[in-house]
Amino acid sequence: MSGSSSSGSEEDDEGIDSYRKGGYHAVRIGDLFNGGRYIAQRKLGWGQFSTVWLAYDTQSSSYVALKIQKSAAQFAQAALHEIEVLSAIADGDPSNSKCVVRLIDHFKHAGPNGQHLCMVLEFLGDSLLKLIKYSRYKGLELNKVREICKCILTGLDYLHRELGIIHTDLKPENILLFSTIDPSKDPIRSGQTPILEKPEGSLNGGSTMNIIEKKLKRRAKRAVANISSRRASMGGIEFQKPERCLDGIDMRCKVVDFGNACWASKQFAEEIQTRQYRAPEVVLRAGYSFSVDMWSFGCTAFELATGDMLFAPKSGQGFNEDEDHLALMMELLGKMPRKIAIGGARSKDYFDRHGDLKRIRRLKFWSLDRLLVDKYKFSETDARELAEFLVPLLDFAPEKRPTAEQCLQHPWLNLRNAAQDERENKSNVEKVDVGMSKLQIKKSVLVINEHHWKRLGQPNSD
């Protein structure tokens, strides 16, 4: 696990205000945890409830992710729940092959701000969100999307079918690659020597100073970037950044962040899922089950293929985000069946008795395959095949959505991208051409040799 999940964000720092009683634990490089077994190396990220650190496990001589929860009672309670879920996941997957993050250890750590529950998780790489950003929001090659989707579905199938767990917050931030995009950020591939003792001159306020220094550096960097872009625009020049090559990046990934997960038989929250990945039954408060994760998976797969969120609702004049979200869903998927539209505890807030939206009347319909062709320039074939995979996942009727197990059997996951095939065919043709050329040269040499020996009146020694 890395700090790229919603358990940790790299974009901004958590600020120093939460380093107080009931809040975060201030960590310094070289700090020891759990009787000296784990040694803090560097911060990976942070979340509302915790900070995440790269640590060295002296017992197994390996790097791990150390998640340190805030100490207040409500955060401790949340951590105990997450440990319970993660323990069930680890117990059911002894071979660690189900594409779900693995809990290695958990313990309590006493600090000046209170007692903190700590979780030790396997160290993973960057999030899919970071991968989408790294590819400059252009969308990934479909073969890479397929590879990622197989891993996510393997994880969801295990959670749903074998354990009865609903993730409830599936999104690109909560799926981590096996390794980092930049090899220098990976402690193993970069050949990093573990820090086994505190660096000299490490002060108590080191972690706080580190936050302030980082903020100042980031502000300076942004200022320079703004000046550069202003200069470029003043000169009337627009620089097109070159596309980044993703070859060589391991696309295998794991589902992480189970802080909001629940057992299907023991649900404790009505409002689940991050807004853009939220299923219609959750918006309408019509109850939910495993199929909410499948809706979020469909949204995530679209985002991987295009670089854009499938639904990004905003509030407007006379309507709120929920209403815009429902309108966006219907513009893409057609009118919501009346039975579903009026079947939730909040349906009356948005729909009239006929199943029409009360405040957003004009909808512009645009099918998913046409959207992929017209906006994202997919070929007709790629658009049709991807839409055939995604549209069933986005059925308004939760019970009609395919399960993760059924999705793993879908032909789209075993298709090959035509463009990829074309490149490989071209490469094979080039290899054949080179081989033929070498054969021609060899043949010519043989002919020349034969003429040479005949001219000399001697037999060919070959």
Residues belonging to the active site: 169
**Which tokens in the block code for residue 305?**
């293929």
**Which tokens in the block code for residue 51?**
């900070």
CB distance 168 to 260 below 8 Å? yes
Cα distance between residue 210 and residue 187, in whole Å: 21
User: How many angstroms from the chain centroid is the CA of residue 195?
Assistant: 29
Q: ∠148-11-249 over CA atoms, to 5°? A: 30
φ, ψ for residue 310, nearest 5 deg: -70, -45
Taking the C-alpha atoms of 97, 101, 107 and 111 in order, what is their torsion angle to the nearest 10 degrees? 160
148-175: b (≥16 Cβ within 10 Å) or e: bbbbbbbbbbbbbeebebbbbbbbbbbb
Q: Which residues contact 328 (CB under 8 A, 6 or more apart)?
A: 311, 312, 313
**Which tokens in the block code for residue 255?**
């589902």
